[in-house]
A and B are shown apart, each in its own frame.
Chain A
């Protein structure tokens, strides 16, 4: 069974649209994350979330919002998509909100904005 799954794997959409990417983990982890990997392969944290606290990287535009219906899911909503949002988005999870645990990544969602 896949530990961290994301849907869809590929997403092509037009500028101005609103879209969501879903993430689910079956590891029983407490903390989930969203990362963005740009065309130069640079990975950057966007959000960290557990059931108590959302931490937002200050560089993330407020068009991006994470939504967690329950502990196993952290979906990423993006409003008014822009060309610069094209990237691969990775969801990840780890055990606990503190401590130094490794993060397990989903397969990524390649978003292309045209």
Chain B
């Protein structure tokens, strides 16, 4: 079974609007972390935001916020006030603390395209 599922292969958003990128996960480990990375067309992987399974509040980093719904096992990324430079692939990832090596498991990604 997929551990990380991103159901939106591609999305469009109008510049200056907010957009939500979906991510659901599957784990039986009580302690885990959820990460979002951005990959622009230049190819590098840029860390955006992190949410721990025991965190009481949703994580926020500037225009990025994570809508963490633990019971539903979802960790959606919300980008407010979209900019043209937000056009990129976005990857949701999970690390389970009991997973040997603490390796990240990635979802299939969502390609976001911001329209002017």
- Chain A residues with CB under 8 Å of chain B are 31, 33, 35, 40-45, 47-48, 53, 55, 57, 88, 90, 92, 94, 97-105, 107-108, 110
**B103 A90 Cβ-Cβ under 8 A:** no
19 contacts between A and B (CB under 8 A): A33-B103, A33-B104, A35-B104, A41-B39, A43-B106, A44-B106, A48-B101, A53-B101, A55-B103, A88-B43, A98-B97, A99-B97, A100-B31, A100-B33, A100-B52, A102-B35, A105-B44, A107-B43, A108-B45
**B44 A108 Cβ-Cβ under 8 A:** yes
CA distance A55 to B50 in the complex (A): 23
B29-47 interface with A by 8 A CB criterion: 31-33, 35, 37, 39, 43-47
> Which residues of chain B have C-beta atoms less than 8 A from A55's C-beta?
100-101, 103
Measured CB to CB, the closest approach of chain A to B45, in angstroms, equals: 4
> Which residues of chain A have C-beta atoms less than 8 A from B33's C-beta?
100
Q: A42-B108, A90-B45, A98-B97 are in contact. Are A48 and B102 (CB under 8 A)?
A: yes
CA distance A110 to B44 in the complex (A): 11
CA distance A35 to B93 in the complex (A): 13
Cβ of B89 < 8 Å from any Cβ of A? yes
Measured CB to CB, the closest approach of chain B to A66, in angstroms, equals: 12
**B106 A42 Cβ-Cβ under 8 A:** yes
Q: Which of A35, A45, A108 contacts B43 (CB 8 A)?
A: A108
Measured CB to CB, the closest approach of chain B to A7, in angstroms, equals: 15
Residue on A nearest B35 in the bound complex, by CB:
A102
Residue on A nearest B39 in the bound complex, by CB:
A41
Residue on A nearest B54 in the bound complex, by CB:
A100
CA distance A45 to B4 in the complex (A): 14
> Which residues of chain A have C-beta atoms less than 8 A from B102's C-beta?
31, 48, 94, 97-101
